[in-house]
Structure 1
Amino acid sequence: MRIGIVCPYAWDVPGGVQFHIRDLAEHLIGLGHEVSVLAPAEEDTPLPPYVVSAGRAVPVRYNGSVARLSFGVLSAARVRRWLHDGTFDVVHIHEPAAPSLGLLTCWAAQGPIVATFHTSTARSRVMLAAYPILQPALEKISARIAVSEYARRTLVEHLGGDAVTIPNGVDVDFFAKAEPKAEWQGQTLGFIGRIDEPRKGLPVLMRALPKILAERPDTRLLVAGRGDEQEAVASLPQEMRARVEFLGMVSDEDKARLLRSVDVYVAPNTGGESFGIILVEALSAGAPVLASDLDAFAQVLDQGGVGDLFANEDADALAAAALRLLGDPSRRAGLSERGALHVRRFDWSTVAADILAVYETVMDGAASVVAAEDARPGRVARVRARMGREQ
């Protein structure tokens, strides 16, 4: 199968959607399919052989964050060239409503189109106002996928229609088999995310840290991600700042090792999450998870069955829950065991099979339409036949 996948966000700025697309593409290639990914990227960005650059992206405020998107005449030309050269059996667009490559591809593509919706957001006047512009492009989509019930709900409320729910995927064994790192073990909390993006929740965790350290002064917080490290600890008393260790951007291998090493992984995100792929990665690594009680996080964690939840943006609740987990090894072990079983439903072996089933369904539908049209005279044939009779 020849599959074209469209990434809306800059390939060189890591994020959950990019990781999802990368892992899906590599899994499909491993199964023997031909895959090409079109993504915004700076000209000097090292790209995997299956990624085609659509040109540089520009920062745009989108879904409570700053996303790097690509839109314009040059991007549209590159989309058309990619579609022409690819001759794809199916095109899979991610976030087609975002002002980026997905929307451009919807306008330009012919044939079966599958779209995945990742965004979860409250009812938005901007999205509702944009619907008349988006509608002609979105009507070309053959099948819709939502990564969670909350992404599906956003789609229904803002754009109409419905979608099949297929979660984000994870290579479970990659995280489960990672080797812990000795220097990251021993009374450690972990956080992975963009430091300077408030909705990732690091400020909430920083407000909770003094209470945690007051009872457990040997606790360390390991932070992986880009951002202003000095600003991140500015609210902490000077004597506590040494208990926070910034690791910067980490490789996939080190991310897995970090999740295998920490006593508790903390996800204090405050909103804008439709799924929570980092929770699935942490569960895969066997890390006990403590997360804010966002609807999407609660769903991933089986309503608290495989990870503990605390009241969103409540630093005191976070501190109390973290102290309970740090002081209860048996509770942590139980969460790890249940999480290891629960997370198998998110493995790429399952998720990719579900996505391939959608591809095959829309391809079969397109083939049926072509066959039906071939079975009866087309307009041109009818016109020619009529002209022949009239001569």
Structure 2
Amino acid sequence: MQEGGRTPAPGLRIGLVCPYALDVPGGVQNQVLGLAAFLRRAGHDVHVLAPGGLPDDAYGLEADRFTSAGAAMGVRYNGSVAPVAFGPLAAARTRRWVAAHAVDLLHVHEPLAPSASLLALGASRGPVVATFHTATPRSRALRLAGSALSGAVDRIDAGIAVSPTAREVVVGHLGRDAVVVPNGLDVTAYEPSDARLPADGRTDGPPRLLFLGRSGERRKGLDVLLAALPALRRTHPDLEVLVAGPGPRDLPPGCRSLGLVDEAEKRALLRTADVYVAPHTARESFGIVVLEAMASGVPVVASDLAPFAELLGGAHDPAGRLFRRGDPEALAAAVSAALLEGRGPRTRRARALAHRYDWSVVGPEVLAVYDDVLGRPALVAPVGEEVS
């Protein structure tokens, strides 16, 4: 529709590449699927390449818009075991996908991970945007990769970092800049509502703490939380601790391991917890689960990592409680204070802050990067305005 002499820019054909298997839960995977859903709502033709298969909860992505780069295998990367695909078969599948789709723009995530993103970057001959999620400021491996893969890095037309912490890694290791565009979230899917409580309708009972993450990774900080329990049980003897996420782990009495949970189960757990605890100790570039907890209206207790403090509105007056990372006594004190305070002005402020990260805000920021690369007029209007 043309009005006032202006015509909306036509939709783009966009290729999104995730280095990690989409059918294995993870923050990068959720970002790729969430971005694909936003871009399609905005009228763009989106195709996704990733290892593994398409999960049941794929944010509405149809099977014919997904291509597998091959079976995923676990490789240690950025302090965890990443489900990636590499080697001759993955390279051949990636080359065929790039050639067959002839996209206007390729958007790869974690381009230096040994997987589909790096392979797609090497096969691409058109405009490329890359999103960097990693926060490893002293990574010798990343410095070496940046040097060895300088040719691949040079193919990137624009870089996105999900936080200032991630941007520092890009600048320090790759010698190039990146614009900070945070991760996105469908905030409305997490907003608390009595009508959306799980079937147990939990409104009382013993205080419930929730930990979400890979329990076997030390940097996720479950050991810090468990070390704080004796002090917490002195004041809250009936305290219940729920641990959700992959990884076998022996837990003390009063703690329950839920194993891997899907997105719907995660949202239900967040809505019915009394406190969400993020005791992570290192290498967190953003903190998507902290953001999900904020949107859910649950009181948040988090370690004082810079990305967590930023999400909560700053270390001076956070919309949650920050404690010194790795300190069980400080964690126990913060949880006790959060349990005493409960839901109120602090959690309402956290929910308000979460709206800054809704896809309706973050999505247009990603599209603005595409505009700059392609030299196009704005593809969508600023939030609150209509495209004419």
Under TM normalisation by the shorter chain, which class is it?
0.7 to 0.9
Q: Do structure 1's residue 76 and structure 2's residue 98 form an aligned pair? A: no
Distance 1:115 1:228, change over 3 A: same
Does the 8 Å contact 2:224/2:328 carry over to 1?
yes
Are the counterparts in 2 of residues 185 and 263 from structure 1 also a CA contact under 8 Å?
A: no
After superposition, the Cα gap between the structure-2 partners of 1:215 and 1:165, relative to the gap in structure 1 and judged at 3 Å, is same
Measured against aligned partners, the alpha-carbon deviations of 1:223-278 in whole angstroms (never above 9, x if no partner) come to 2112214x2x1xx3xxxx1x222222222122112111111110011111000000
Residues 38-84 of structure 1: per-residue CA shift (max 9 Å, x gap): 00106x97675232100012221111111122111111111111111
Q: Which amino acid aligns with 1:199?
A: R
Equivalent residues in 2 for 1:288-303, closer than 5 Å: 288-303=299-314
Q: Which runs of 5+ in 2 are unaligned?
A: 1-11, 377-388
Matches of 2:300 and 2:355, distance apart in 1: 16
Where does residue 60 of structure 1 map in the other structure?
A: 75
Q: Which residue of 1 aligns with 2:244?
A: 224
Residues 185, 34 of structure 1: alpha-carbon distance in 2 compared, 3 angstrom cutoff? farther
1:179-226 superposed Cα distances (whole Å, 9 cap, x missing partner):
234348541111111122221111111111121112111221122112
Secondary structure of residue in 1 paired with 2:52: coil
Indicate the residue corresponding to 1:41 in structure 2: 52
**Aligned mates of 2:268, 2:320 — CA distance in 1:** 19
Question: Is residue 324 from structure 1 mapped to residue 324 from structure 2 by the alignment?
Answer: no
Structure 2: distance between partners of 1:205 and 1:247: 16
Q: What SS does the aligned partner of 1:281 have?
A: helix
Secondary structure of the structure 1 residue equivalent to 2:292: helix
- Counterpart in 2 of 1:14? 25
What does residue 198 of structure 1 align with? 218
Distance 1:185 1:93, change over 3 A: farther
Contact 1:123–1:158, Cα closer than 8 Å, also in 2: no
Distance 2:257 2:204 in 1: 15
Residue 271 in 1 paired to residue 282 in 2? yes
State the partner residue of 1:378.
none
Letter in 2 for 1:28: L
* CA distance in 2 between partners of 1:131 and 1:89 (Å): 26
On the 8 A contact 2:182/2:362 being kept in 1, the answer is yes
The one-letter amino acid of 2:34's match is D
- 1:362 is displaced (CA, Å) by 1.0
- Pairing of 1:146-295 with structure 2 (within 5 A): 146-177=161-192, 179-181=196-198, 182-183=201-202, 186=205, 187-229=207-249, 231=250, 233=251, 236=252, 241=253, 243-295=254-306
Equivalent in the alignment of 1:380: none
Which amino acid in 1 is paired with 2:244? A
Counterparts of 1:195 and 1:124 in 2: how far apart (Å)? Answer: 23
The alpha-carbon deviation at position 346 of structure 1 amounts to 0.3
Q: Which runs of 5+ in 1 are unaligned?
A: 366-391
CA distance in 1, matches of 2:272, 2:73: 37
Equivalenced residue count is: 353
1:145 and 1:15 map into 2 onto residues whose CA distance is: 19
Amino acid at match of 1:95: E
Q: 1:60 to 1:314 in 2, by over 3 A?
A: same
Deviates more, 1:138-147 or 1:21-30: 21-30
What residue number does 2:6 align with? none
Which is further off, 243-252 or 133-142? 243-252
TM-score relative to the length of structure 2: 0.87
The alignment's C-alpha RMSD in Å is 1.7
Deviation at 1:31, TM superposition (A): 2.2
Give me the identity figure in percent.
47
Q: 2:324 aligns with which of 274, 299, 311?
A: 311
Q: 1 or 2, which has the higher helix percentage?
A: 1
Aligned: 1:120 with 2:135:
yes
The residue aligned with 1:51 is 66
Shift in Å, 1:126: 2.0
Provide the rounded CA distance (Å) in 2 between the counterparts of 1:281 and 1:173.
Answer: 10
Find the residue that maps to 1:77 and give its secondary structure: helix
Q: Which has the larger radius of gyration?
A: 1
Q: Which residue of 2 aligns with 1:370?
A: none
Deviation at 1:328, TM superposition (A): 2.3
1:100-148 Cα offsets, whole Å, 9 max, x none, are 1111111110111000000001222222223332111111111110000
Matches of 1:125 and 1:184 in 2, distance apart?
A: 49
